[in-house]
Structure 1
């Protein structure tokens, strides 16, 4: 199968699957694990819940979206050409299948990072006291 020629339904499923899985994983982490992590951090939890950390999360989201866009089947050939021209030769082969894996991973992390954004300013405060 050539990754560059996909019908629209498969392309939509391929994007929505990892994105929804990432959203679900991030939401479950945020609901069940994150409060415990904050409780264990104690006073250091302020750093994790700061506005600066939210900006860093936004940067990670932008990077994941950029990787997903660059490695999508519609851009994979151009991305491979750019990588071969601008990077030293890696110890492994850069293939369409490898970039397809990067696409799936980046799409998953895009959903995960979206779910990790705080929904309100007061959301972090009650969570830091739970065990």
Structure 2
């Protein structure tokens, strides 16, 4: 899943960062108007059939954000940062996962404003894929 998400980011010219949320918050060299895909450590649940065949479910929390400016209004941020991420970038992630023999079982999206110390706006996405 790590390699897949990194590949999606690279194919779309996004910045990819992997780590715990407290470490991701330390990022202070963000480029304006650049999309960042922050992925927290991936949880893998394994289940085994009676025949011993393993199936895995990946539980992923990621953040898809764009640096913002404190002086921008919420409406501006929604129209220019959040809405394009909701309409386009989120779909690229979903399609990328579904096209790699994984099925998304659960998906939850939360809009965020002024997230992290460096003021990023965008989405937090929690998903499970099998």
Fold shared by both chains (TM-score > 0.5):
no
| Bigger fraction of residues in helix | 1
Rg (Cα) greater in structure: 1
With structure 1 as the length reference, what TM-score do the two structures score? 0.31
With structure 2 as the length reference, what TM-score do the two structures score? 0.31
| Bigger fraction of residues in strand | 2
